[in-house]
Structure 1
C-alpha cells in the first residue's frame, strides 16, 4: 500500500528518457518506501519519508540533476485521486478519451473560463479545484489544448492521465 501517487509530466516522450527502474531507485534513495511504478509514463507509487511536498521537490531536483531535464512531480493521495474520479463532470463514453489533469495549483475561475473558451467543439473542459477534467470525443491527438497552452492559460503546469490509468493507480495504491 502506498500513501502517494506521483504523476510526472512528459517522461519517455520527445527524448526525455526516464527509466522506471531508475525512478524507483531515486525515490528509494530519497527515503521513500512502498515504491513501485506503473507503465513507463511517469507514474510512481510511494510512501514519502516526511512531508510529501518536500519529497516531490527533492525528486524533481534529483531527476533534473541526473537526466538534465526538468519535470514537475505532482502527487496526490489515493483518496484525492478517487475524489477527482468521482467528481469527473462529463459522461464517460470511452474512458481512454476522458482525462484528469493534475495541476500544480488551483486556477482562478477566469483562467478556467479562458481555457474552456479555447476548447474545440469536440472537447469538454472543467476545472475542479487543482484538477482539470477533459473529455475528447475522438481522442487527444490533434487537440490544441497542449500542455503549454494549459499552463499559459491556467497559470499552472500539470499532467494528465486517462480514467483507465487513474482507476488502475488507485487500485495499485490500495491493494
Structure 2
C-alpha cells in the first residue's frame, strides 16, 4: 500500500488564485487519491496518491489549471522526507514562524545556488540542502531583509514555503494526528 503524502500547492488563495479546499480534495479523489484531507486554506493536502506520485502531482496541476484557469506547481513529499527536511534545518530558531522550509520541485544546480548567493540578505539567512531551501528571517517573513523572490528566481526551480509550525503540523497530520 502506498503511504500518505504531504502535497503542497504554491501560491493559492492569494492574489486572486482562489482554490476551495473542498474542490481540491475532490480533484485529488478524482485522480485516484484516498484518505484525502487538507490543512488550512493555503494549499496543504494529505493523501494516499496512486502509485505514480509524479503523475499524480502533474495531474493535480492540470486539473486546477483546467478548472480555475491558473497554473500552480504541486510539490509532494513523503512524511519521512518532510521529517528529514525539518531535522536538517540549519539555523538556530529565533521564532518557529520566522523559519521556513521551501520545498523545491528539484535540486538546484551548484551554479544556480552560486548566482543566488550574490544577493544581499541582511540578517536573514538561507541555505539549500538537497531539494529544500531553508530560510530564517531575522524579523519575520512580512519584513524580509533579503530579496527572497530574486533568490528563488536565481535558483531556477519553483518551490513552495511553509513555516516550521506548519511543517511540524503537516508531519503530525501525515502520521494520522489531528
Taking structure 1 as the reference length, the TM-score comes to 0.94
Aligned residues: 173
In structure 2, the residue matched to 1:57 is 58
Deviates more, 1:134-143 or 1:156-165: 134-143
Deviation readout 1:92-118 (Å, 9 max, x if unpaired): 110000000001111122322322331
In structure 2, the residue matched to 1:47 is 48
The structure-2 alpha-carbon separation of the partners of 1:164 and 1:24, relative to structure 1 and needing over 3 Å to count, comes to same
The structure-2 alpha-carbon separation of the partners of 1:119 and 1:24, relative to structure 1 and needing over 3 Å to count, comes to farther
Indicate whether 1:81 and 2:82 are aligned: yes
In structure 1, the residue matched to 2:37 is 36
8 A contact 2:116–2:152 mirrored in 1: no
Deviation readout 1:124-154 (Å, 9 max, x if unpaired): 01000010000001011243212xx244201
Aligned residue for 2:24, secondary structure, equals helix
The structure-2 alpha-carbon separation of the partners of 1:100 and 1:119, relative to structure 1 and needing over 3 Å to count, comes to farther
Deviation readout 1:2-44 (Å, 9 max, x if unpaired): 6211110000000000010111111011110010000000001
In structure 1, the residue matched to 2:166 is 165
Q: Structure 1: how far apart are the matches of 2:163 and 2:141?
A: 10
Superposed counterparts of 1:133-152, under 5 Å? 133-143=134-144, 144-146=147-149, 149-152=150-153
In structure 1, the residue matched to 2:8 is 7
Deviates more, 1:135-144 or 1:125-134: 135-144
Deviation readout 1:29-68 (Å, 9 max, x if unpaired): 1110010000000001011112100000000000000000
CA RMSD in angstroms comes to 1.4
Could you list the runs of 4 or more consecutive aligned residues of structure 1 that deviate by over 3 angstroms after TM superposition? none
Taking structure 2 as the reference length, the TM-score comes to 0.93
Aligned residue for 1:118, secondary structure, equals coil
8 A contact 1:89–1:133 mirrored in 2: yes
Q: Structure 2: how far apart are the matches of 1:18 and 1:142?
A: 26
**Can you give the 5+ residue segments of structure 1 that lack an aligned partner in the other structure?**
none
